[in-house]
Amino acid sequence: MTTTIEQLVAQMTLAEKAALVTGDSNWTTTAVSRLGIPSLLVSDGPHGIRRLPDVHAIVQKSLPATCFPTASGLAASWDVDLLYEVGEALATEAIAQEVDLILGPGVNMKRTPLCGRNFEYFAEDPYLAGKLAASLINGIQGRGVGTSLKHFAANNQEFERFSIDAQIDERTLREIYLSAFETAVKQAQPWSVMCAYNKINGVHGSQHRQLLTDILKTEWGYHGFVVSDWGAVHDRVAALEAGLDLEMPGPKPRRTEAVIEAVKNGTLDVAVLDEAVGRILRLVFKAAETPKGGQQFDADAHHALARRAAAAGMVLLKNDGVLPLQAPQRIAVIGRAAQVPHFQGGGSSHVNPTQVDNPLAELQKLAGDAAVTYAPGYPADDSFEPSLIDEAVSQAKAADVALLYLALPSSIESEGYDRTNLDLTPAQVALIQAVTAVQPQTVVILNNGSAITMSDWLDGAAAVLEAWLMGQAGGGAIADILFGRTNPSGKLAETYPLKLSDTPAHLNFPGENGVVRYGEGLFIGYRYYDAREMPVLFAFGHGLSYTSFAYSNPQLSATTFLDKDGLTVSVAVTNTGQMAGQEVVQVYVHDQVSRLVRPYKELKGFAKVALQPGETKTVTIPLDFRAFAYFDPAHGQWVTEDGDVDILIGASATDIRHTVTATLESSLDLPPTLHAESTLNDWFTDRRGWQAIEPLMQKLRDEASGLFGGDDEDGPAIGMEMLRFMLDMPLVSILHFQESVLTQAPEEMVEDLLRQVYAAHEAED
């Protein structure tokens, strides 16, 4: 462009500006032909492009595109390079279909495994989700196609998702529900960020100025535009003022007129409108730099990538030695999902695949001379047909191994509604129990988008493979793993609980009277199970391999370090088995002492390493300032504290192989937070506060020992019991009990002490 964005905005009429900040159709922004401003075409597509031929349609068969594994499957790969590669492929297909911006990825936390849309989200951990999202975004945008990071924020359920008010304290919001967004924004700068439908602490996501402007644009330095989820705007003018730049879908003449009228009557500053217009225009012209259409994508190559990605994310949860299959003579394939693959979720992300692998057919290709039989095992709906189980049992008895392919039906798990339990269908559970009773060599293969319970049948199964909503090539990927062509390397990005009532949000989900309270606070996922010392079915980070790995020689770059310098962790990993494989090294941080409550450990680094049998590689993982910080609402910022921190190196959240300790020195000089009602403990733990009250405490020690308790050999002393009694009392209250030895009123004395503390802070600054 020779004309700058600012000049272009100045040339636009008020009507043109108002039209630009509202969509022109379901999938396009408004063009301004007289100024050469093109439209921007967007499409659903977190794991595959859902490009509708008619931009005015909302429900229509989309153009064929590669259906990659959903986010839950991709996340279980723990492979940022793979996510980048998938992103590049998505961009290539978007370009071929004239799509300028892909609506995804989603980085909302898996607060509860009941959320119907969990298959579209990465993890229960914000660090992992943020890193994976950033890599996918960079892969897409590196090819000149935009993304829309969603749903900002706290879109953690489908129940009343358009209106539910998520009540979350500030620290939990920052550390858990915003952190993945922050990572993705700072490391990838998505072209757009999509607001959530729900309210956050009483304010709709589309009108949440603190989120959209104060945090996203100002604090995080976000340069793109904010777009509404489809139909999320309630008041267009209020949303603009809050920082929502583009409302979708369109057209909406009443919204446009509302903006025009608000500017004319002075209730909306035109500068606010111009800011939104400028943000949109920058990305409209950025998209135009990459020509769209006029080419085809390599569908076969992308299908092969989808197969590799599906295998990388599949998690071998259990294996008693039956896998990999050793050329059995008779294989009983049981389960409708072997013939009718369940490979993607329902709702807006539903892709029209270019082709779909049939799991049974793919298995037969690799089975050699083995005799393969098939029985559907369970009905297509939720009904119960004993005859199907009888047929399956008969075939399982006659086989050397039984392969059970089971999928949660879309009627249970989809966008738009939440699950009511964590179980497979009663027919599927009965099938597993019946088959494993007659065939000890039974492998259960699962297609689902989030955690399920297994206690009713797990002991009877020889192996369990979590294949997720695996994408169009997942059927072949399953066969690759079953026969050992691919060594499983997936690790869970979410905890599998023993039962629903064990889950962190159980008592606070899904809410009532329009409000859902995030009462578990910071403690979601493995953070909760650690705090409760509660056993789980399968831990966060768990995943088996056909080989084994040993960890040795853990090293830190320093034993004492400054927070802003960070710390580097290294560990040697050796493949001690007989097969090439990949291991995910996970690094968790535990702060030994903290002013505020913290989770016992938190994931702060990971790396995936490929090793040949007998090979050793040293894995190096950097930890930055944020790896050791927590958000302190009293200071309104991320803080670190002096003291020892444990670095836990492991293969899962419960399989910690090594723990090494370092001493952190904080570089922060935080202002005091003392006030008129601060406790004695608050004064003790504040450096300047202690300096201020030390003479006073000595005076009380010397003159008021009768109240405080016995003497020691050095004279009157404050007894330990009394000291503990007083620690949580406000200093002013303690002084009220000692007025007889004071020269000032307690309130005046505390005010003087506070002035002294804050003056000392200002002097040091």
Q: Which helix (H) or strand (E) holds 732?
A: helix 731-736
Which residues are CB-neighbours of 687 under 8 A, at least 6 positions away?
none
DSSP SS3 for 54: coil
Which among 428, 434, 356 has a CA at the least distance from the CA of 391? 434
Which among 301, 294, 302 has a CA at the least distance from the CA of 66? 302
Residue 286's alpha-carbon distances to 19, 93, 150, 291, 713, in angstroms, are 20, 18, 21, 11, 78
Q: Is the peptide bond before 64 cis (omega within 30 degrees of 0)?
A: no
Q: Which residues pair with 621 in a beta bridge?
A: 569
Beta strands 515-517 and 165-167, pairing class: parallel
C-alpha to C-alpha distance for 421 and 416, rounded to whole angstroms = 16
Residue 248 tokens read as: 């979708």
Q: 415 and 348 in contact (C-beta within 8 Å)?
A: yes
Q: Which residues pair with 256 in a beta bridge?
A: none
> Which residue reads 């990993």 in tokens?
573
Q: 127 and 170 in contact (C-beta within 8 Å)?
A: no
Residue 316 tokens read as: 């071998």
Give, in degrees to the nearest 5, the angle at Cα 746 between 743 and 747: 125
Q: Which residues pair with 200 in a beta bridge?
A: 166, 203
Which residues are CB-neighbours of 631 under 8 A, at least 6 positions away?
170, 171, 174, 175, 637, 638, 639
Which among 168, 157, 165 has a CA at the least distance from the CA of 121? 157
Which among 377, 640, 360 has a CA at the least distance from the CA of 482? 360
Which among 483, 482, 443 has a CA at the least distance from the CA of 460? 443
Strands (E), 196-288: 199-200, 203-204, 225-227
Residue 454 tokens read as: 């297994």
Q: Which helix (H) or strand (E) holds 272?
A: helix 270-288
Which residues are CB-neighbours of 254 under 8 A, at least 6 positions away?
none
Which among 684, 678, 691 has a CA at the least distance from the CA of 757? 691
Strands (E), 24-79: 42-44
Report CA 7 to chain centroid distance, whole Å. 40
C-alpha to C-alpha distance for 90 and 143, rounded to whole angstroms = 9
DSSP SS3 for 410: coil
Q: Which entry of 24, 100, 229, 530 is annotated as an active-site residue?
A: 229
DSSP SS3 for 320: coil
> Which residue reads 């090494």 in tokens?
660
Cβ–Cβ contacts within 10 Å for residue 516, how many?
A: 25
Give yes or no: 214 in active site.
no
Q: For 553, phi and psi rounded to 5 degrees? A: 50, 55
Q: Given its phi and psi angles, is residue 712 left (phi above 0), alpha (psi -120 to 50 degrees) or beta?
A: beta
Residue 457's alpha-carbon distances to 395, 398, 433, 544, in angstroms, are 19, 21, 6, 19
Q: Give the burial class of 294: count Cβ atoms within 10 A of its Cβ; 0-12 exposed, 13-18 middle, 19 or more buried.
A: exposed
Which among 41, 7, 15, 11 has a CA at the least distance from the CA of 26? 41
The residues assigned a catalytic role are 229
